[in-house]
Amino acid sequence: MSLEIRENLQKLFVLGISYRKTALDVREKFSLSAEDQESLLKEAKNNEIEGMVILSTCNRTEIYAHSSQVELITSLFLKYCKGNRNDFNCNGYTLHGNECIRHLYKVTSGLDSQIIGDFQIVGQVKNAYQLSENLGILNSFLTRLFSFVFQASKKIKNTTEISKGAASVSHAAVQYIKDKVSTLETCNFLLYGTGDIGKDTCGNLLKHMNNRSLTLVNRTVEKAEALAAKFNIQYQTIDKLNQEVNNSEIIIVATGASKPTLTLDHFKGVESCKLVLDLSVPRNVDNAIDELDNVLVITVDELSKHISTAIEQRKACIPDAERIIQASIGEFYGWLEVKYLSPVIVALKENLQKVQKKELDYHKNKLSNDELKKVEHITNNIVNKIARACINHLKDHHKKQSSPMETLNMIFKDMDS
């Protein structure tokens, strides 16, 4: 690998913080709002940063950049987030070159997700990339790298089963409902609790419902109102919980409290059949409700059986995904070699053509037109063969030495004399 390519690879880095070593309360300090991301990118562009992409999700905040100004970008990150340098030094990471490339592939393909194979991250990475493209802070290096990464991610999703099965409580709950409830399209749903699990369940459930017969209830009504507005669905205040329990065939509890929030009192006078899914740990559905003849309660323990099976199936697909990633990285490095060899290859062909022209000019007065055409044809073939041989030699030399241009100069040194 040439010095030029090594230097360009070393300019590529990612700095960030993620769920792997950092608790949520610390991660939240480093999250960046959409407005902050845009402001950070604009300031970076004003500081002549070559290329940058910002990824900020509930599980990670990362900045991918192709620049030698690592310290400046770190300072900009800390300027726009609420975290401080000490917290970042203790919890954050900075990866360069090949490590950064592998990390980006694993993040985008779901291999580095909290839930293996979570392909929601692909859309988040694409949105981050699109923002940088819109603001004009992408160079050719990052553009081509992300293109290879997105292609590999798509291939992993289409050719492996790494995203198959329900691998989170919210996904498992929705999958259970799909499998067990034949009247999904006509049922009335109640989602009680709009924290992280409640939000995920809401989004997943609405993907499979053509109607909007889902009502949200939350102790803090503002949270229910905000989520309802996002998805254009109904919400009710906590004092209407009994009424909503009575109106709903399927009740999902995701309140995340330390004791039961759904009790026998909420089922007084209820005679119709109910399916209740308790997604909380510890249980937030009173054990006494299990004894009601018209109510079936499904707990996290039951759903976890489906999750464990799915996770093991996904883990079995990791080697196949890794092979796809490794092959794609090899193709990206091949692109780098061609990119940085292109000026050398152009110079090689120009020098060969100059030699050919010089010789033909010297001999053309001694040759007939037919003879000249034959000589031109022969010398063209010779030039092309020499060019191909030299180009192949340059590529091999390029992988091992620091200056392919020096090799080219040596090839033509004697010809010029």
**Catalytic (active-site) positions:** 58
CA atoms within 13 A on the CB side of 302: 13
C-alpha span between 387 and 377 (Å, rounded): 15
C-alpha span between 281 and 8 (Å, rounded): 49
For residue 296, the 8-state DSSP code is: E
Bridge partners of residue 56, in order along the sequence: 61
For residue 287, the 8-state DSSP code is: G
Residue 110 corresponds to which amino acid? G
Residue 282 to residues 192, 202, 379, Cα–Cα distance (Å):
15, 21, 83
Phi, psi of 260 (to 5 degrees): -55, 135
Helix (H) or strand (E) holding 278: strand 274-278
The DSSP result for 51-120, as a single string, is EEEEEE-SSEEEEEEESS-HHHHHHHHHHHSS--HHHHHHH-EEEEHHHHHHHHHHHHTTTTSSSTT-TH
